[in-house]
């Protein structure tokens, strides 16, 4: 549901209110500070990789390998972790790069993948984790989803890998857990779920 809503950002974003020149709402120009393709790519990155917010903000443009479908990110502690990403996730990034990033990078000239659209030039244009929160919250609100945070996408990825592979090492590899105990947590099974498995024999 969240991804479905993210897909609609490019056509449901803020629209100019110049009613005299554009009677048809769909033909009105988007506000120049709206970045629907960037925001969509961020949502895809969170959901399709399981990255933390800070990792998303740390992605450098030249560390996305579109051929190998990987993203190398320097995470907390200074260690570099390589995430796998789906083709859909890469497609969302490619669209953002083509439609919005090149314009913003004329202002910033930054190595960062996801750039601020602020006219005030401070830093290297990277977004903050707080901005990631705002983007996520906005999409969840549009989707009618409550009680989910960007970290929920990380948990969902861990559970998805376990359900598909049953492989704890795969969870550890994708999410970058240095302690395998964190990965093991995704394989825990509740009493009701265990009972269902036994009853279905």
Please report, rounded to a whole number, the percentage of residues in the chain having pLDDT higher than 70.
83
* CATH, domain range 2-147: 1.10.443.10
**Which pLDDT does position 134 carry in this prediction?**
96
What predicted TM-score, i.e. pTM, was given to this entire model?
0.79
Work out the average pLDDT over 159-185: 82
**Which pLDDT does position 17 carry in this prediction?**
45
Question: Could you report the per-residue pLDDT of 56-84, keeping only the tens digit for each?
Answer: 999 999 999 999 999 999 987 888 999 99
Selection from 92, 59, 74 nearest residue 176 by Cα: 74
User: Residue 173's pLDDT band (boundaries 50, 70, 90)?
Assistant: confident
Cα separation of 18 and 42, whole Å? 29
Domain ranges of the chain: 2-147
| Predicted confidence (pLDDT) at residue 21 exceeds the cutoff of 60 | no
**Which pLDDT does position 19 carry in this prediction?**
40
| Predicted confidence (pLDDT) at residue 28 exceeds the cutoff of 50 | no
25, 40, 158, 181 from 47: Cα distances, Å: 31, 11, 11, 22
For the residues of 30-88, what is the DSSP string, one character each? BPTT--HHHHHHHHHHHHHH---HHHHHH-BGGGEETTTTEEEEE-TTS-EEEEE--HH
| Predicted confidence (pLDDT) at residue 52 exceeds the cutoff of 60 | yes
Mean pLDDT of the chain: 84
User: Residue 180's pLDDT band (boundaries 50, 70, 90)?
Assistant: confident
| Predicted confidence (pLDDT) at residue 23 exceeds the cutoff of 70 | no
Residue whose tokens read 């550890």: 172
47, 60, 63, 78, 85 from 178: Cα distances, Å: 21, 22, 21, 13, 20
| Predicted confidence (pLDDT) at residue 8 exceeds the cutoff of 50 | yes
Selection from 104, 105, 116 nearest residue 42 by Cα: 116
| Predicted confidence (pLDDT) at residue 11 exceeds the cutoff of 70 | no
Selection from 48, 50, 102 nearest residue 81 by Cα: 50
Who's near 193: CB < 8 A, 6+ residues apart?
Answer: none
Cα separation of 114 and 111, whole Å? 9
Question: Could you report the per-residue pLDDT of 90-144, keeping only the tens digit for each?
Answer: 999 999 999 999 999 998 999 999 999 987 777 889 999 999 999 999 999 999 9
């Amino acid at each position: 549901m969240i991804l479905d809503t993210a897909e609609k950002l490019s056509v449901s974003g803020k629209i100019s209110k110049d009613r005299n020149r554009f009677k048809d709402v769909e033909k009105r120009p988007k506000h120049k500070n709206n970045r629907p393709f960037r925001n969509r790519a961020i949502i895809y990155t969170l959901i399709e990789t399981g990255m933390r917010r800070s990792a998303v903000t740390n992605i450098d443009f030249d560390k996305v390998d579109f051929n190998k479908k990987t993203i190398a990110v320097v995470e907390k502690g200074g260690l570099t972790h390589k995430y796998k990403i789906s083709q859909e996730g890469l497609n969302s990034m490619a669209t953002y790069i083509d439609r919005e990033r090149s314009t913003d990078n004329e202002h910033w000239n930054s190595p960062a993948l996801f750039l601020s659209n602020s006219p005030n030039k401070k830093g290297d244009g990277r977004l903050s984790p707080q901005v990631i929160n705002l983007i996520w919250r906005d999409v969840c609100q549009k989707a009618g989803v409550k009680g989910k945070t960007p970290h929920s996408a990380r948990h969902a990825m861990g559970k998805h890998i376990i359900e598909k592979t049953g492989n704890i090492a795969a969870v550890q590899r994708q999410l970058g857990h240095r302690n395998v105990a964190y990965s093991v947590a995704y394989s825990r099974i509740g009493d009701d779920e265990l009972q269902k498995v036994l009853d279905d024999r």
